[in-house]
């Protein structure tokens, strides 16, 4: 599948967000609406989605969303007591990765996909600070589908917060010491909303 050509345009300039000990850049319209619609449906249909579980207080609890891990060979990733082995890149994932590489100035070798089926699916507070990501990881978050709130809070002062509405076709780049000092979440919502697919591209140090 190739959506480049007439649908490919220079991205909007992006909005730089400077937080205490952290940097972000938000591109709300990196992908055009029609392009985003196609990518959403393609990923929904072709990705090997699974509902994994994690150990919480001695019990196995299902993650409140579906997930998948894709990437280069030898880019396994461990979090929440799970180790994920990569599935090979699909054509759509390669296209999206190539689109964001020059913007994020990082050669990503892996991607974690999350499927939020409704407003009841969520992601709790955490930081992407696993050792295999390195000390100051660049993480590029691409979003297709329903808009969802993305909340950040400073680890040592939870009164220090920031919020971004991640929209259909948007890109959020997190970099610098953000993961060291901040954590983030995607909370549940009572609103009746459709599904959302989030892709977080990363570089795994083997």
Known binding positions for 2-oxoglutarate:
114, 116, 126, 184, 196, 200, 202
Contact 174, 182 (CB under 8 A): no
Q: Which residues does the annotation place in the binding site?
A: 77-79, 114, 116, 126, 129, 184, 196, 200, 202
Contact 62, 51 (CB under 8 A): yes
In 131-204, which residue ranges form alpha helices assigned H by DSSP? 178-181
154-161: list long-range contacts, CB under 8 Å, 24+ apart: 154/19, 154/20, 154/21, 154/181, 154/182, 155/127, 155/181, 155/182, 155/183, 156/181, 160/20
Question: What is the 8-class DSSP label of residue 132?
Answer: G
Q: Which residues does the annotation place in the binding site for substrate?
A: 77-79, 129
């Amino acid at each position: 599948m190739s959506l480049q050509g007439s649908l490919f345009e220079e991205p909007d300039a992006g909005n730089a967000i400077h937080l205490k000990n952290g940097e972000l850049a938000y591109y709300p319209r990196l992908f055009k609406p029609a392009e985003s619609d196609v990518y959403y449906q393609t990923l929904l249909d072709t990705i090997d989605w699974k509902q994994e579980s994690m150990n919480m207080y001695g019990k196995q609890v299902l993650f409140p969303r579906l997930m998948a891990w894709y990437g280069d060979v030898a880019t396994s990733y461990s979090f929440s007591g799970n180790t994920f082995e990569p599935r090979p890149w699909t054509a759509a994932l390669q296209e999206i990765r190539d689109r964001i590489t020059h913007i994020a100035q990082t050669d990503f070798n892996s991607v974690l996909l999350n499927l939020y089926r409704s407003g009841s699916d969520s992601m709790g507070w955490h930081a992407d600070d696993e050792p295999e990501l390195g000390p100051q990881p660049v993480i590029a978050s691409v979003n297709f589908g329903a808009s969802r709130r993305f909340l950040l809070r400073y680890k040592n002062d939870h009164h220090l917060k920031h919020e971004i509405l991640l929209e259909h076709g948007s890109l959020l780049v997190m970099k610098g010491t953000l993961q060291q000092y901040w954590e983030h979440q995607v909370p549940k919502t009572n609103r009746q909303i459709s599904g959302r697919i989030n892709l977080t591209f990363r570089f795994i140090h083997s």
